[in-house]
A and B are shown apart, each in its own frame.
Chain A
Amino acid sequence: MIYRESGQFKTTYKADQAILPIFQDKVAMGLLMFFAFVIIPFIADDYWLSSILIPFLALSLAALGLNVLTGYAGQISLGTAAFMAVGAFAAYNLQVRVPEVPFLIAFIWGGLCSASIGILFGLPSLRIKGFYLAVATLAAQFFIEWLLTNFGWFTNYDSSGVITAPPLGIFGFAIDNPLSKYLLVLTIVVLCAFAVRNLARSEIGRAWMAVRDMDIAAEAIGINLMKTKLLAFGVSSFLCGLAGALWAYIVLGTVEPQAFDIMRSFEILFMVVIGGLGSVSGAFLGAGFMILLPILLNNLGSIVTGSAISTETIAHIEFMVFGAFIIFFLIVEPKGLARLWQIAKEKLRLWPFPY
């Protein structure tokens, strides 16, 4: 009912193909950005920033990456965490070997390395589909995890096999407090989301979706499946790698390869499934959901039982709830929260009419 599209007519394709063609959406997005960049810095305390918002953003980025692969190009992957790891360790190593490199370059380098590894492990996707491919990505998961653990070179021969991110700074400003870190991550993530949205509505995005929806037809209209799939793997792993770098540098600071184990891969996959396959907003909704649910459970638990429950129990309940939600969403709405949101929006646009 808030949508009043009458009178919003388009006289150019530029306007009609704008990223947010409807005025009300532009406003909404504007408000959201204002809130994220201006309001939050004022209202959020360090706890919120460093243990909720920053992780949320970093994981959203990873989910965004996986969504490119699974949601848009229809190629399932269980190796997300591995690609994150590659990003993190590549960025770290570049800075260790060449200290004068600014961290942003290092991050991008991390992304690029991750992308190339992603493409490498994407090669099987040309012959195999579905969970066969999932297995291939699992191979990546275990192999990379092992590689980083067993070869000291990657951790710069750290005795305890961990990497410690060097302090961040940009143009002389030290990025050391939660707020500045938050703003940094936010900027990076927003830019990436914007880029993915653009790809999705461009020639590349259509190629991806064509491959996802009907690969035979896609070939018949001249889409090169190999290039398209590998590009998806590349872009996806680039984003995951970047996310990994953020995770290592800003969220954790000190990382061991096990921080990127298969559990993390599943976590990201869940975010995408719950959030919504094939939509940018889905990545964020999913991540938000996965981050907030445990906190919610915790508080609920303590309210119900009066006393705080053992973290173990919480963890187990978490497992169950996540699992249940995955199944629920796959049954009820495979396109996830994002789709639900979309339906609500449709309803609002038609209101009060049912159709």
Chain B
Amino acid sequence: MNVNAKNNKSAKLEVLMDIKDISLSFGGLKALQNVNLHIQKGEILAIIGPNGAGKSSMLNVISGIYIPQKGVVEWKGKLRKKIAPHDIARMGIARTFQNIALFRGMSALENILTGRNILMKRNLFLEALYLGMGRKQEEEHRQKAEEIIDFLEIQSIRKTPVARLPYGLQKRVELGRALALEPELLLLDEPMAGMNVEEKEDMCRFILDVNEQFGTTIVLIEHDMGVVMDISDRVAVLDYGIKIADGTPDEVRSEQKVIDAYLGAG
């Protein structure tokens, strides 16, 4: 079934984000140099590269946390200005973190519900009295959150405090929280880091399903090439802040530079 999915995706070639010739450096250290990258609507784009290749910096540029000293970032054809971190989400960009950043004091359900916060209205009085829209929206968004729980097959841990969950499930909940925002662009920072084989397989399945069912554009950065190659439509390879390859997994795999980079990285 996957196959058809990919086909009708490559059909639409709308560019969601266009990153033009950006450079980013912290003090002396050059994190990114003259990188060009465009993100197509509805694709799964993997940014890979050895440690310290500038993957995270790239992700932070995409998400808008870092503003490159040189070059421009266009979001849906428009130039993107500096924005407050909390407005990134409102632009339709959600992300997960490399080392899990869940709200440890809450249950899985509450974490996901918190992801819905920006879609809720704030009304101190109605919420304090839990009346009218104050209650209604809680119930409506609970419904939405439950759909995500169902989608990620975590019904059995719905009300468990996340701190008590095993690593793999925590990652899943964090994905759920990002999905709750109903983002156009989903950034995954090493989604499979430190997972065992089954967990990785599950995560891959979910990433593909998200992309197919919600048509969400996904950018994920990964350290090892393995899994990523199977699920992504396009792969960009960074090495020492420079993009050394960009294309379909097969193209990239055969790219000499890439092989060197990885051998170099040992």
B-binding residues in A (CB < 8 A): 13-14, 16-17, 19, 195-196, 198-199, 201-204, 206-207, 209-210, 212-214, 216-225, 231, 235, 278
Q: Whose C-beta in chain A lies nearest to the C-beta of B127?
A: A202
User: Which residues on A sit within 8 Å (CB–CB) of B139?
Assistant: 13-14, 17
For chain B, residues 83 to 99, give those with C-beta under 8 angstroms from any C-beta of chain A.
Answer: 84-90, 94-95, 97
Contacts of A220 in B (CB 8 A): 63, 85, 88-89, 94-95, 97, 101
Beyond A19-B130, A207-B114, 15 additional contacts (C-beta under 8 Å) are A14-B135, A196-B128, A203-B122, A209-B103, A209-B106, A210-B117, A213-B105, A217-B101, A217-B103, A220-B63, A221-B178, A222-B90, A222-B118, A224-B86, A278-B105
Residue of A nearest to B146 (CB): A13
Inter-chain contacts of A213 with B (CB < 8 A): 102-106
A-B interface contact total, Cβ < 8 Å: 109
A selection of 19 A-B contacts at a CB cut-off of 8 Å is A14-B135, A198-B127, A198-B128, A199-B128, A202-B130, A202-B138, A209-B106, A210-B106, A210-B114, A212-B105, A218-B103, A220-B63, A220-B85, A220-B94, A221-B118, A221-B177, A221-B178, A222-B87, A222-B118
Known interface pairs A213-B103, A213-B105, A221-B94. Does A195 touch B128 (Cβ–Cβ under 8 Å)? yes
Q: Which of B84, B122, B134 has the most A CB atoms < 10 Å from its CB? A: B122
Q: B117 contacts A207, CB within 8 Å?
A: yes
**Can you list the 9 inter-chain pairs with the closest CB atoms, starting with the nearest?**
A222-B89, A222-B118, A217-B101, A213-B103, A195-B128, A198-B130, A202-B127, A13-B139, A219-B85
Closest to A216 in B: B101
CA gap between A300 and B189 in the complex, in Å: 60
Give Cα distance in the complex from A204 to B95, angstroms: 22
**Most chain A beta-carbon neighbours within 10 Å: one of B86, B120, B122:** B86
Bound CA–CA A278/B103 (angstroms): 14
Query: Which residues in A have their C-beta under 8 angstroms from that of B181?
Result: 221-222
Determine the distance from Cα of A29 to Cα of B173 in the docked complex, in whole angstroms.
Answer: 33
State the interface size on chain B (CB cutoff 8 A).
Answer: 41
**Interface positions of B (Cβ within 8 A of A):** 63, 84-90, 94-95, 97, 101-106, 110, 113-115, 117-118, 120, 122, 124, 127-130, 134-135, 137-139, 142-143, 177-178, 180-181
Query: What residues of chain B lie closer than 8 Å to A210, measured between beta carbons?
Result: 103, 106, 114, 117
In the complex, A230 Cα to B177 Cα: how many Å?
A: 24
* B124 lies within 8 A of A231 (CB): yes
Which residue of B103, B117, B127 contacts A199 across the interface (Cβ within 8 Å)? B127
Rounded to whole Å, the gap between the CB of B115 and the closest CB of chain A is 5
Measured in the bound complex, the distance between the Cα atoms of B89 and A34 in whole Å is 47
Provide the bound-state CA to CA distance between A221 and B103, in Å: 12
Q: Is the interface of A mostly helix, strand, loop or mixed?
A: helix
Pairwise interchain contact A204-B118, C-beta atoms closer than 8 A: no
Most chain B C-beta atoms within 10 Å of own C-beta, residue among A212, A214, A231, A278: A214
- A212 surroundings in chain B (CB, below 8 A): 105
A198 cross-chain contacts in B, Cβ below 8 A: 127-130, 134
Q: Within the assembled complex, what's the spacing in Å between the Cα atoms of A221 and B92?
A: 10
> Separation in Å of the B262 CB from the closest CB of chain A?
30
B124/A222 in contact, CB under 8 A:
no
Say yes or no: A223 contacts B103, CB within 8 Å: no
Whether A202 pairs with B134 at a CB distance below 8 angstroms is yes
Chain B residues with CB below 8 A from A16, complex form: 142
Closest chain A CB from B16 CB (angstroms): 19
* Contact, CB under 8 Å: B114 / A206: yes
The minimal Cβ–Cβ distance linking B95 to chain A, given in whole angstroms, is 6
Q: Give the residues in chain B near A219, CB-CB below 8 Å.
A: 85-86
Q: Which residues of chain B are near A223, meaning CB under 8 Å?
A: 86, 114, 117-118
Known: A198-B128, A204-B122. A225 touches B86 (CB 8 A): yes
B-chain residues with CB within 8 Å of residue A201 when the two chains form the complex: 130, 138
Query: Which chain B residue lies CB-closest to A238?
Result: B124
- Which one, A204, A216, A225, A278, contacts B127 given CB within 8 A? A204
CA distance A13 to B86 in the complex (A): 29
| In the complex, residue of chain B having the shortest beta-carbon distance to the beta carbon of A217 | B101
Residue of B nearest to A231 (CB): B124
Contact check, A203 vs B110: say whether CB atoms are below 8 A apart.
Answer: no
Q: How far is the CA of A39 from the CA of B86 in the complex (A)?
A: 51
Taking the closest CB of chain B, its distance from the CB of A277, in whole angstroms, is 10
Q: A206: which of B95, B97, B113, B178 is its contact (CB, 8 Å)?
A: B113
Are A204 and B97 neighbours in the complex by a CB distance under 8 Å? no
A198 CA / B130 CA spacing, docked (Å): 6
